[in-house]
C-alpha cells in the first residue's frame, strides 16, 4: 500500500486513536486521588536530585531551570519510545480479533504521553518558574514548534521500536539501556557551554556531541525556556531535518513490514 493510502487509512481510524488515548488516560489515573499530579513526581524528583548534585559542579545561574527545560522533554521522549516498543505486543489480542492499521497503537501511545508531557511542562514552569527565575519572553511562543519536532522524532523512533520488539521481544530491555546511555550523551544535565564559554566538555570534543540528533531537538527547549531566546538557525534547521528524517524514515520502514506483523505476534 502506498504511504499516502496509509495516511488516509490512519485518518479514517482517527476516532480509534482518540478513544485509545482517552481510555489509557482514564485507566492511568483511575482511583488515584492526586491523579495527574503523580506524573509530575518523577520529573520533579529528577530535577531536585540532579540540580542539587550538578549545581556544585556547574556554576550556572538558575541551573534548575536548565535541567527542567531538558529533563521534561527527554522524559516524554524516553517513556514514549519505551512504551511504543511493547504497544503492538500488548495489543496482540485486539489485532487478532479485528483489523486495525498497526501504526494506530504506537501513535496513540505517543499522543497519550504528549498530553501528560504538555501539562507537566506547563504546570512545572508555572510552579517552579518564579523560583527558578523563568523569564517570560516572546521566545516562549516558539515552544509549539519544539513540541512538534520532538513528537515527530518520537513517532518515527517509536514505530521502529514497536516493529523491532514485535519480532524480538528481548529488544525492549536493550532499548531501555540504549535510552539511558543516550540520556547521558545528550547535554541535558550538563551544559555543553556555560555563559563564560567554559563547560564540562573540552572544545575539541563538543562537535561530536552536536552530531547527536537529539542535541538540536533538546536545544529547542533550552533556548526559549532557559536562555529566553530563539534557537539559532543552525539548531532549527538541524532539528527540523532530524524530525523529518526520523518521522518519514521510521514510518516508511514500519509500513513496509506492517502487513506481515501479525505473523510476528
Please state the rounded mean pLDDT for residues 79-104.
87
CA distance 156 to 236: 19
Number of domains in the chain: 1
Q: How confident is the model at residue 188 (pLDDT cuts 50, 70, 90)?
A: confident
Top-ranked range on mean pLDDT: pick from 85-89, 179-183, 185-189: 179-183
The answer to the question of residue 194 being in a domain is no
For 16, the domain range is: 3-189+201-263
Is residue 29 in some structural domain? yes
pTM for this prediction: 0.87
In the predicted model, what is the mean pLDDT of residues 215-220? 94
97-112 tens-digit pLDDT? 888 888 999 999 999 9
Rounded mean pLDDT, 197-216: 79
Residues 114-171: pLDDT tens digits? 988 888 888 888 887 787 788 888 999 999 999 999 999 999 999 999 999 988 888 8
The set of cell numbers assigned to 91 is 495489543
- pLDDT of 197 > 60? The answer is no
Q: How many Cα atoms sit within 13 Å of 184 on the Cβ side?
A: 4
State how far the Cα of 148 lies from the Cα of 12, in Å rounded to an integer: 22
Assess if residue 195 is contained within a domain. Answer: no
Q: Which residue spans within the chain are E strands per DSSP?
A: none
Instruction: Tell me: pLDDT of 32 over 60.
Output: no
Please indicate, yes or no, if residue 237 is contained in any of the structural domains. Answer: yes
Cα(170)–Cα(205) distance, integer angstroms? 34
Alpha-carbon distances of 204 from 16, 71, 209, 232, 261, rounded to whole Å: 50, 26, 10, 21, 45
Residue 151, CA atoms < 13 Å, CB-side half-sphere: 18
pLDDT exceeds cutoff 60 at 253: yes
Q: Are 6 and 101 in contact (CB under 8 A)?
A: yes
Q: Which of the four pLDDT bands, split at 50, 70 and 90, describes residue 57?
A: low
Cα gap 175→171, rounded to integer Å: 6
pLDDT at 33 over 60: no
- As a whole number of angstroms, the distance between CA 209 and CA 231 comes to 17
Give a yes or no: residue 83 inside a domain.
Answer: yes
In a domain? residue 196: no
Q: What is the mean pLDDT of the chain?
A: 85
Could you give the CA distance from residue 237 to residue 239 in angstroms, rounded to a whole number?
6
Q: Is residue 94 part of a domain?
A: yes
What's the pLDDT at 146?
95
Amino acid at each position: 500500500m502506498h504511504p499516502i493510502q496509509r495516511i488516509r487509512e490512519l485518518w479514517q481510524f482517527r476516532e480509534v486513536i482518540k478513544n485509545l488515548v482517552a481510555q489509557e488516560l482514564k485507566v492511568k489515573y483511575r482511583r488515584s486521588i492526586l491523579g495527574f499530579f503523580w506524573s509530575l513526581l518523577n520529573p520533579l524528583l529528577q530535577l531536585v536530585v540532579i540540580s542539587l548534585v550538578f549545581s556544585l559542579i556547574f556554576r550556572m545561574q538558575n541551573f534548575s531551570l536548565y535541567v527542567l527545560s531538558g529533563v521534561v522533554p527527554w522524559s516524554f521522549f524516553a517513556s514514549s519510545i519505551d512504551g511504543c516498543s511493547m504497544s503492538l505486543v500488548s495489543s496482540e489480542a485486539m489485532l487478532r480479533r479485528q483489523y486495525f492499521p498497526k501504526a494506530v497503537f504506537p501513535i496513540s501511545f505517543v499522543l497519550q504521553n504528549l498530553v501528560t508531557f504538555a501539562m507537566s511542562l506547563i504546570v512545572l514552569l508555572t510552579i517552579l518558574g518564579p523560583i527558578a527565575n523563568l523569564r517570560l519572553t516572546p521566545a516562549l511562543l516558539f515552544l509549539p514548534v519544539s513540541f512538534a519536532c520532538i513528537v515527530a522524532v518520537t513517532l518515527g523512533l517509536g514505530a521502529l521500536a514497536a516493529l523491532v520488539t514485535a519480532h524480538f521481544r528481548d529488544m525492549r530491555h536493550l532499548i531501555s539501556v540504549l535510552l539511558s546511555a543516550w540520556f547521558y550523551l545528550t547535554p541535558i544535565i550538563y551544559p555543553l557551554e556555560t555563559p563564560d564559554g567554559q563547560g564540562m566538555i573540552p572544545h575539541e570534543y563538543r562537535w561530536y556531541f552536536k552530531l547527536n540528533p537529539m542535541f538540536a531537538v533538546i536545544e529547542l527547549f533550552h533556548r526559549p525556556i532557559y536562555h529566553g531566546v530563539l534557537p539559532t538557525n543552525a539548531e532549527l534547521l538541524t532539528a527540523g531535518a532530524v524530525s523529518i528524517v526520523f518521522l518519514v524514515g521510521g514510518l516508511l520502514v514500519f509500513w513496509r513490514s506492517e502487513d506481515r506483523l501479525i505473523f510476528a505476534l
